[in-house]
Amino acid sequence: MTNEILKLNPREIWRYFYDLTQIPRPSGKEAAVIAYIKKFGADLGLETKVDEVGNVIIRKPATPGMENRKGIILQGHLDMVPQANSDTPHNFETDPIRPRVDGEWVKATGTTLGADNGIGVATTMAILAAKNLKHGPLEALMTIDEETGMTGAFNLKAGMIQGDIFINLDTEDEGEVYVGCAGGTNANISLPIERESAPTGDKALKITVSGLKGGHSGVDINLERGNSNKILFRLLYELTHQYGVRIAMVDGGNLRNAVPREAIAIILVKDQDLHNIKTKTAEFGKIILNELSSADPGVKVQLQDTEKPASVMEMDSASRLIKAVYGCPNGVIRMSTDMIGLVETSTNLAIVKSEENQVFIKCLLRSSVDSAREDLKNMFASVFTLAGADIVFDGEYPGWKPNMDSSILKAAREVYQNLYGKIPEIKAIHAGLECGILGGVYPNWDMLSIGPTIRFPHSPDEKVNIATVQKFWDFLVKILEEVPVK
């Protein structure tokens, strides 16, 4: 498998990408990859710095005759989303990713691949290492913790970067040039619950929602895939209303920026209701499968016996929780009226996890319109404060407003048309690129974002199209040659 990856073209990129797959680098655990990139820059004899939070900056002088060009910044992020299938044992802090070639795609074995944003980082490394490319002054900015907090972008200080043109390498459709992105904010909800001893005689059952595809909570939100938390609480709503089942625990989702694929609950039921509850759950599973037959045909809702817990949620606490989560906004809220096909506003009910006396709920709210994001925050506050929960919004980051008069955009359009005989699509993305945050610190930057075709990032189905990596490379290399003079 290793040799398959290393034989792909352009070999400069795949060599470094393979190296990155062998370095565990989940968000917040990037020490090893920071050290690797730092050594890479130093071994090339290039000026290399690591800032206070771990962002790596590498500078490469202009090639002879190109010294008068505007400085280019190539940017990607070092971390990756750690997601594995339930039947794939994998420790993302110690185990390497196992990439493989599958027809036209490179995939991982049972886990996320890390092409988001390993391909962007590998491409930057290949350009820094190349001896035969033409370019003006280059800087590489490789940030940390993009996926969970954009910590690197938020903490990059003014004056660290010298260039004028910023090219982000973290979008996922070859043939498209991105000039804008959504802003976002985190919703952190804490609902106090009361507990009481489990009723004697009741039987314990475990509900499992599984088999969903999940995906990136921004890029894939328009695919209308199932959200395991919403499915689970829809069923809990019906079972508590019809049969008075008691709730002992709930646990769904594990990453704020990934559509949750699995969720479980432990419930207690009366013996006389057991048959009806099993029948009801089986019927509910068929209903969900029918509703998601195109978007998520692998969805399963299963019921099995389990060990009886010592306590359950007090009935009022359980009722408030179920109603709040069931009523929580989720998915696409509004499509853009300015750019056809673009999601304007969305939310992802990412995590619902009960502990002894609290239930914690985490969501990610996105919008390219600031006022719409504020409206969505008010919706959340309305729903959850009615349930008696505390809600805190944090991690807010701005969107990136398109500049259609951009000089680097004009150059990129001409380059792409000359290479491939057509004009690339100019788009905005419903995801939180670092461009908005970084552009706030460096307002002089002229920015765009490009990348190869990557599908299903943030899920174990993540894959990168091999042919588009070559096209992406050729496009970027040619852009570097055509950068305007200062």
Among candidate residues 79, 174, 202, 434, the one labeled active-site is: 79
Selecting among 139, 145, 146, 446, the annotated active-site residue is 146
- β-strand pairing of 72-77 with 165-168: parallel
- DSSP tag of 485: B
In the residue annotation, 164 being an active-site residue is answered as: no
Decide if 273 is catalytic. Answer: no
Burial class for 70, CB neighbours closer than 10 Å (0-12, 13-18, 19+): middle
Q: Is the dihedral of CA 59, 64, 70, 72 positive or negative?
A: negative
User: Which H or E element spans position 406?
Assistant: none
Rounded to 10 deg, the angle between the 466-481 and 11-21 helix axes is 120
SS3 letters for 64-84?
A: CCCCCECCEEEEEECCECCCE
**Token pair recorded at residue 310:** 């010592």
Please return the burial class of 257, using the count of CB atoms within 10 Å of its CB with bins 0-12, 13-18 and 19+.
buried
The residue with tokens 């073209």 is 9
In whole angstroms, what is the distance from residue 214 CA to residue 226 CA? 7
How many other C-beta atoms can be found within 10 angstroms of the C-beta atom of residue 348?
Answer: 28
The identity of residue 381, as a single letter, is: A
Measured CA to CA, the distance from residue 264 to residue 207 in angstroms comes to 5
Going 454 to 438 to 332 to 236, the CA torsion angle's sign is positive
Residues with catalytic roles: 79, 146
